[in-house]
Structure 1
């Protein structure tokens, strides 16, 4: 064969560019075309094509990219060429590029949002300077052979630890429970959550003081305000060293203003801190509790001394309560230290051992984020390898003209990097826009510090890792082609070449179907618990906390005036809200009780009409009544208490407690006032007008809630002017108990939908490629009489088989992990057969809808168009 003369470099480069776009035949015209195809009439088409490529190679080879030298300039030129060619490939295949970039962007959005959520969880409480030394002192106790864990401790424990092991701690501080209190300054009255602690507590939390000092808090009348609370009370005035009124009867002095604690701290709701001496002076029962080892009504925090070992100190104090309190020994109390690093993530205990907590959610969402990103990377792998025949000629020509395999791998990885980089830009924009919505959904206050260099370093590492994850397999696969076979036209991908793509599609849909099943189970668990009978009527029931002493002695006045407004049906008082039990007590005794049987009852003090107000259901006996003066020594049990006591006829029996005798007059249906996921606590109800903290109102059902509250508010403001009118609807307060599970359900739903979208994008791309690859086959089949339905079936069946395989894999995997999750709830739903069925059928329907568009579009194409090149 006659060797052609060399052509100018510019024309040779033009030929190379045309070849890389696979449109050399359309671009080359004039003399070159005539020269290349002069012999086409006298030889076979195959030999003409071979001759054509041979001459093209001969023209291009002198100007091809050779192995670069080690100079920086050549490296720069090499990488510039890589990205230039990558960009041209993206632009010449816009459809596949959009699918790749879009799919990766969606996967990266999920990964970035989950990454931000996990970072927020893992950084919980790290705001505090002494994060590694701060501990909460807690205890294990054993009741009737069951070991339980609680954060509540008695006051004498603080005294004993301070006196006997004070050298092991730098700071120790006992406190009450964070609750709402009224802060007043002149006519300004606000309700804020706060607590009473000993003087060292600000040091333990290392509060960032904006005004004043932490040491000033040791003043017995001192109070520290958060910045937001100070602004609400004083506006632009200086709050430091000013006096305010706490709960309408305590004159306290503002000795410092501290920075509001971040949302990802345990004490984020702590808007003020008052000195411990204030609560002691105004609560005589706390002074009395100073010697009561059985009164577990307080919290104890500490900071270890420098150099102190947590495990060693914990072992020292383990038997403190057991050694000092002989009456408590039957409960085998064990004192231990819970480090701050475990407060948020490791807070669940079982039989005295850590059994999990929020850390399980961190692992769950972390795995979901990795798998969703993997789904997006699988799309890239599938579409890149599916188009292998399109890229085969490029690989062959590059290897023939001297490109090393390492250079080809670098070329394809650079394409992956470019796609991932563009996807990251799209994902970052979406995350920035969606972050407020995500914060609302996840109950977070996450922000992105765009100016933080660490953020960009992590982002770059994320891009590189994703590029390698998505691009490594296509790069290794495409660079393995043999140039001789490619250029001779004998290269075929073969039947087994599609096997890795099918495996990846199966992985995609296995993950997606697993997420769908998980979403359905979480939703079913929430609904199952919500539908659990609560034992009372939540609708139209309102709670008002008596936050100031001014409420004392005003109940009858309030009752009469509120009844006269017509806004309420009934009113009563209780020591606990309708959504919690604030007091648990032991020491109960009755006839037939085993002397060794340990008792623990939820204890709720109530007033007359409590039952009528909340609408509880009497199962046996009667309700409290003003007609019976003996009801002052009466007691009502719930069904759980009867079962706990193991008695058959409780009405009329006598129960002793705290040197008093009570007569059981009734049994009520169990009421869910604590966690709806756990069994109802055995509880007792007794009359007591002097130890109540909540007012319960049953609104008039014939008026709207807004109309009722408009009539109720003036009555409270007129009679209790010292406190703001704050109220809670019981149904909303009860609904908040499902907030954590609902957030899990919503987040899982969002991630499932995005995973399905990513999988569908991949299926859509593969279906379009298959349809394109089999265009001529479809044309021939149509000419031979094939129907649209048969062509649709032919193009769809492979994908349907893959989804069915995914269902068979996903169902046992999902059921295994979801059963473990459900077992963490004592009251939970079951996994019904229809749940995997719905997930599988849904996945099949989505796949059919995705594939059908491309399949029907290809089937409806005119054969003249598909066969015109022949």
Structure 2
């Protein structure tokens, strides 16, 4: 019986080539989008599950409250690790401090720059690193180093690296005692290419065992089995307060299971993050697949009259309704299975492009039985859903009415099809409006004044001791090449801020008021190099030796502090008095979507880590870099010449939103495509159904325009209904999304007008081909009865 069902289903599929092609193509596109989104979502929700101790690993997060606002960050203090180990050993199994950054690794003549971390001895066990060679215990040696497999290959090729010596930052020799498998792309620490021993004297933070006021490390913990994170967090929340009473601070344990998807904090609590993208794309995938299923339902029910006699005859000769339902469902499942085969091909071909857009490294899990079982189950389910309405609708025809010619589908039969078309275009219009709003938000933030000149700026991180102490001669040599206009040093690049501090005192400060300021330490020429805008006072100057240790405040810092006429005022901080010499216009150094951080710039050249260079705009960049590189190698021979363009670094701040916009664009275009396939099929059916009516109208004098108007009007009305539903829905969702940004665009009225015009135009273009084709047909052929 089942074999017979599929034979008939195959014959019907081959017989109706046009509608079958529309069904298979539309379903394949919808299923391909759903599968790609499914692979993306799986990659997101399985983040960090590579680690065997996934459920018991957490990070210590610090929350500081100032001016009624609570800021939560992942940095903490060094002595906290030992405090947790000794006082909470019943709950906490292991702790490990880390401090990350780029370092120069050298083995013989081979030198590479990689991201790595200083880490306490228990970190490899906490992360359950897969050791290729060596073991965890060797990392307790302060002269050891653990390398990732790819880093070991880069340094030593195919030779055995164990017990070989690696020179770090040209000043520390360490022995390779272990090789671990590269961490997967969907792990938080996947960029960690090596681990350096925390207790080594070269690690600055190892010399801060009692610094309760210096937040600069990350602290990871592993709980004992069956210990609750919330319970331990409540126990340790005020552990740091007795040691740093000047700051209103609490700590908490943030489970690894929430690191990736729930990384945003408000008022000290995890409230969301990338989980909103997972939900968003999950909803989009569901609705795009729904659009494809709607096409199948519409085209199947639209052709019900053609199958009406077949159904009537089958019923008359004894077919049960259940058998008819089985026949129609088998046809649906066959079409969906054919679409599934095409889907696999489409996904395989488009995954590289999809990874490029999303920044992922997902792949087809060819050897995973769970994937195939899920995919086939999903295909079978889609077939049932797609074919359910046609099956139950067609199988309900009365055979007597069908066979004596009195059966008519009637207007009511078209209502479900019209509803489904409205649903299709409602989803598509919402996606289009959402895409436009996302790109407007990105452009709005991009056009925001940054407060300095990004073009022509490059930044170089100082990783080796050789580069320090040569600032003046290095700067003079670079300027003499003609490739450099100016150069300065700073504690961070201009697109980021590392340090935040409290404890600033000034005359007139309100009691109990202890604001947090960002700290940027710079050399004299920093402002001239980046081109900041002085609004009051003056810039740091070589002409004023007293500027050593002086402050320049940004406008947000002046506003936050409430200092009136700040020029010449003294601010006491870190045991010293600092004179304010100037006020600078706010600069965007962190998120372009958020308010500018209150920042204090201090002239302190001995606390710097980055060199910022202003390239001569009159010289091509390639030529300028070729002249800059040998100068750096002269004073820093132990380090590769590596630089970053500030323009590129700033552009990366838009990467998440850019990916959302790009994906939304692709999904919106494909959703419109799928909807138009359905419209095209419906228009084809209606034109075929009304062929005699069109012939009569032509004989009576109707023009091609009259007939086109007649056939297109019904679809335009449906699109207008879709617009009425989609407009408030899109406004609500996008307005809610924009609330995530302090600096955001408005939802302009023209977006809805433009989308409406676009939707109507696309609809008319889609249905016009069939409408005009029917209107141009010879009425003699359509009206003859033979």
TM range, smaller chain: over 0.9
Greater displacement, 699-708 / 142-151: 142-151
Deviation at 1:664, TM superposition (A): 1.1
Task: Indicate conservation of the 8 Å contact 2:78/2:205, yes or no.
Answer: no
Contact residue 151 and residue 299 of structure 1 kept, 8 A: yes
Could you tell me whether the CA contact under 8 Å between 1:183 and 1:190 is conserved in 2? yes
2:53 matches 1:130? yes
* 1:641 aligns to 2:560 (yes or no): no
- Corresponding residue for residue 29 of structure 1: none
What is residue 171 of structure 2 aligned with on the other side?
249
User: What do the CA deviations read for 1:551-605 (whole angstroms, capped 9, x no partner)?
Assistant: 1111112112111111000111111111111111111111111021112111111
1:728 aligns with 2:647: no
Shift of 1:285: 6.4
Match of 1:753 in 2: 669
Q: Does 1:388 align with 2:311?
A: no
Counterpart of 2:121?
199
Q: Say yes or no: does 1:148 pair with 2:71.
A: yes
1:497 aligns with 2:413: yes
**C-alpha deviation, 1:745, in angstroms:** 0.5
How far off its partner does 1:238 sit? 1.0
Partner of 1:88 in structure 2? Answer: 11
Q: Does 1:308 align with 2:227?
A: yes
> Can you list the C-alpha shifts for 1:359-398, whole angstroms capped at 9, x where unaligned?
1110100000000000000000000000010010010000
Give a deviation string over 1:324-366, Cα, whole Å, max 9, x none: 32524x50x2221111100001111111222111111101000
Deviation at 1:292, TM superposition (A): 2.4
Distance 1:552 1:503, change over 3 A: same
Which residue pairs with 2:449 in the alignment? Answer: 533
The residue correspondences of 1:179-258 to structure 2 (distance < 5 A) are: 179-258=101-180
Aligned with residue 857 of structure 1, among 762, 773, 785: 773
User: 1:260-286 CA distances to partner (integer Å, 9 max, x unpaired)?
Assistant: 0000000010000111012xx125565
Q: Contact 1:161 / 1:320 at 8 angstroms: preserved in 2?
A: no
Superposition map of 1:717-796 within 5 A: 717-796=633-712
Partner in structure 1 of residue 547 of structure 2:
631
Equivalent of 1:617 in 508, 522, 533:
533
Matched ranges for 1:365-380 at <5 A: 365-380=281-296
> Secondary structure in 2 aligned to 1:550?
helix
Which residue of the other structure, out of 328, 342, 354, is the alignment partner of 1:412? 328
Aligned to 1:454: 370
Superposed, 1:820-839 pairs within 5 Å as 820-839=736-755
2:169 aligned with 1:169: no
Counterpart selection for 1:295 from 197, 203, 214: 214
8 Å CA contact 2:428–2:671 kept in 1: the answer is: yes
Q: Residues 690 and 286 (structure 1 numbering): CA distance in 2 closer, same or farther, change over 3 Å?
A: farther
The Cα offsets for residues 795-825 of structure 1, whole Å up to 9 and x where unpaired, read as 0000000000000100111111111110011
1:681 aligns with 2:597: yes
Aligned equivalents of 1:654 and 1:536: distance in 2?
26
Match of 1:10 in 2: none
Q: How many residues align?
A: 786
- Asked if residue 267 in structure 1 is aligned to residue 189 in structure 2, the reply is yes
Write the distance in 2 (CA, Å) between the matches of 1:307 and 1:366: 32
**SS state of the match for residue 98, structure 1?**
helix
Taking a change above 3 Å as real, the CA distance of residues 573 and 194 of structure 1, as seen in their structure-2 partners, is same
Q: Which runs of 5+ in 2 are unaligned?
A: none
SS of 1:427 mapped into structure 2: helix
Q: Check whether the contact 1:545–1:694 (CA below 8 A) recurs between aligned residues.
A: yes
Aligned counterparts, 1:556-595, within 5 A: 556-595=472-511
Give per-residue Cα distances to partners, 1:405-426, cap 9 Å, x unaligned: 0000000000000000000000
Which residue in 2 is equivalent to 1:57? none
> Unaligned regions of 5+ residues in structure 1, if any?
1-77
SS at match of 1:260: coil
Contact kept? 1:209, 1:256, Cα under 8 Å: yes
Q: Structure 1's 179 and 689: CA in aligned 2 closer, same or farther, altered over 3 A? A: same
Aligned counterpart for 1:360 among listed residues 266, 276, 279: 276
Q: Which residue of 1 aligns with 2:40?
A: 117
User: Relative to 1, partners in 2 of residues 1:606 and 1:758: Cα closer, same or farther, differing over 3 Å?
Assistant: same
| Deviations 1:140-190 (CA, angstroms, capped at 9, x unpaired) | 2211222222211111221211110022122110111x2211000111110
CA distance in 1, matches of 2:423, 2:204: 66
Describe the SS at the equivalent of 2:63: strand
Q: After superposition, what is the alpha-carbon deviation per residue over 1:824-849, rounded to whole angstroms, capped at 9, x for unaligned? A: 11111110101111111111110010
Distance in 2 separating the partners of 1:383 and 1:226: 56
Q: Radius of gyration: which is bigger? A: 1
SS class of match (2:606): coil
Match of 2:570 among 648, 654, 662: 654
Stretches of 4+ moved more than 3 A in 1?
283-286
Q: Is the 8 A contact 1:107 1:376 kept in 2?
A: yes
**Cα deviation code 1:100-141 (max 9, x no counterpart):** 001000100110000000000011000011111111122222
| Structure 1 residues 667-678: aligned runs within 5 Å | 667-678=583-594
2:65–2:71 CA contact under 8 A, matched in 1: yes
Is contact 1:172–1:301 with CA below 8 Å preserved after alignment?
Answer: yes
* RMSD between aligned residues: 1.1
| 1-structure distance, mates of 2:511, 2:238 | 25
Q: Which residue of the partner structure matches residue 551 of structure 1?
A: 467
Q: CA deviation at 1:868?
A: 2.8
State how far apart, in whole Å, the 1-side matches of 2:98 and 2:540 are. Answer: 36
Distance 1:317 1:686 in 2: 35
Question: How far apart, in 2, do the equivalents of 1:451 and 1:658 lie?
Answer: 60
2: CA distance, partners of 1:139 / 1:630:
36
The residue aligned with 1:97 is 20
